[in-house]
Amino acid sequence: MSKDFIQSAGLKLAILAVIFVALPVLLEYLSKGYIYQVVMTALIFSLLAVSLQLVTGIAGLLHLGHAAFYGVGAYIAALAGADYGIGFTLGLPLAGLGAAAIAFVVALPTMRLVSIYFAVATLGIGQMIFLVLQNWVEVTKGPNGVSLNSEIELFGYPVESELGIYFVVATIVCVSIWVIHRLSHSYYGNALRSLREDDQCADAMGINTVRLKIESFMISSFFAGIAGALWAYTTRYISPVDFDFAESILILAMVVVGGLGSIPGAVIGALLLILLPEVLRDVGDMRNVIVGFVLFFSILFLPKGLFGEVPSLNFIRRQFGSAWQDNPDKQKVGWK
């Protein structure tokens, strides 16, 4: 057994110890429900950032509508519990599968698009889903949102304590991140990276690029739906404003700050952008300015992010730049 393997395993065990032991002890010492909610929000957004990392950081598809599938999962879980009495044990996978099914439907006409055209398509899809959640009052209750009175329960046994809920959420998030990590570090993950580097070359090598894009989009949306269900069950109330375009940009910022292509980077980026505003709450509205400066300087001085495989600036430039290169008419009039 190599020394590097032992060190890697020791680091992972140390991280798990912090998540499952040290942090709960700290939360019990603080004994504030608000702190529990902040920590669980950070965990949920960590899963959202990692799920977006799969399709944007690893597969190289600039996805601007991730929050919409997060919202689909949240509404499926909330409506299933509020209207049909479906509990957490069945509602959680149902939310993920529902989000993946919608992702499959919208992916069919969009996955042949490339670069900025794909990004604009996902932006439009996200806005359409948001408008459906906001205006389909008969089903989604519209702007009034949905209140969920069901408790988190596992196989018929309710989980009532805040510490117990924390352990359930942390376990689901960690297992989901582990699954995405294994996918991204397999032959399948290497095929996704080939899409990011040069999808035309990957297609020439016999890789079904359209199928891979659809699959990665569905897997990413499945875990976004799981995160949405966790959000619905931990907050007990959801509304369309929780899943607007600003949330998609926030999740994308977590991925870029943490580092494109890096699963640990996505987690660190999520923790940074969720916990930093809470730490700076005493400075009032200036906290938004400080967070903005953190984002700006992180991109300026750390173009690969904290743990990134790909320089973020080059990735974004490539997504936007190829649109102009593919259009000879704009090149004639001086577009660069």
- Tens digits of per-residue pLDDT, 90-106? 999 999 999 999 999 99
Closest CA to 51 of 238, 239, 223: 223
- Using the predicted structure, report yes or no on whether residue 130 has a pLDDT greater than 60: yes
Range scoring the smallest mean pLDDT among 58-62, 119-123, 260-264, 321-325: 321-325
Per-residue pLDDT band for 34 (boundaries 50, 70, 90) equals confident
The pLDDT of residue 81 is above 60: yes
Q: Show contacts of 269-273: CB within 8 Å, 24+ apart.
A: 269/49, 269/305, 269/306, 270/42, 270/45, 270/46, 270/48, 270/49, 270/50, 271/42, 271/46, 273/45
Query: Do residues 273 and 194 touch, judged by C-beta distance below 8 A?
Result: no
| 179 or 299: which leads in pLDDT | 179
User: Is 49 in contact with 251 (CB distance < 8 Å)?
Assistant: yes
Instruction: Check residue 336 and give its pLDDT.
Output: 35
pLDDT of residue 222: 97
Q: What is the CA radius of gyration of the chain?
A: 20
SS3 annotation, 54-116: HHHHHCCCCCCCHHHHHHHHHHHHHHHHHHHCCCHHHHHHHHHHHHHHHHHHHHCCCCCCCHH
Confidence band for 123, pLDDT divided at 50, 70 and 90: very high
pLDDT greater than 60 at residue 43 = yes
Name which of 180-189, 257-266, 282-291 the model is least confident about.
282-291
Q: Is 99 left (phi over 0), alpha (psi -120 to 50) or beta?
A: alpha
Q: Where are the beta strands (DSSP E) in the chain?
A: 146-147, 153-154, 157-158, 237-238
What are the structure tokens assigned to 40, written together?
């669980």
Q: Note the pLDDT of residue 77.
A: 94
pLDDT number for residue 8: 52
Average pLDDT over residues 3-7: 46
Please give the model's pTM, rounded to 2 decimal places.
Answer: 0.86
CA dihedral sign, ordered 34, 222, 241, 86: negative
Given this model, what pLDDT does residue 320 score?
64
- Identify the residue with better confidence: 61 or 4: 61
pLDDT at 28 over 70: no
Average pLDDT over every residue of 306-316 = 65
Task: Read off the tokens for 270.
Answer: 């999520």
Q: How far apart are CA 126 and CA 202, in angstroms?
A: 28
What's the rounded Cα separation, in Å, for the pair 21 and 107? Answer: 41
Averaged confidence pLDDT in the chain: 82
pLDDT at position 311 = 65
- For the segment 231-236, the average pLDDT, to the nearest whole number, is 92
Span 170-196, average pLDDT: 89
Taking residues 34-39, report their average pLDDT. 82
Segment 267-291 mean pLDDT: 81
pLDDT above 60: residue 13: no
Helix, strand and coil in the chain, % to nearest 5: 80, 5, 20
Q: pLDDT at position 100, please? A: 96
Local structure of 142: helix, strand or coil = helix
pLDDT above 60 for 1 = no
Q: Higher model confidence: residue 326 or residue 181?
A: 181
Q: pLDDT class for 327, splitting at 50, 70, 90?
A: low
Question: Residue 164: which pLDDT band, with cuts at 50, 70 and 90?
Answer: confident
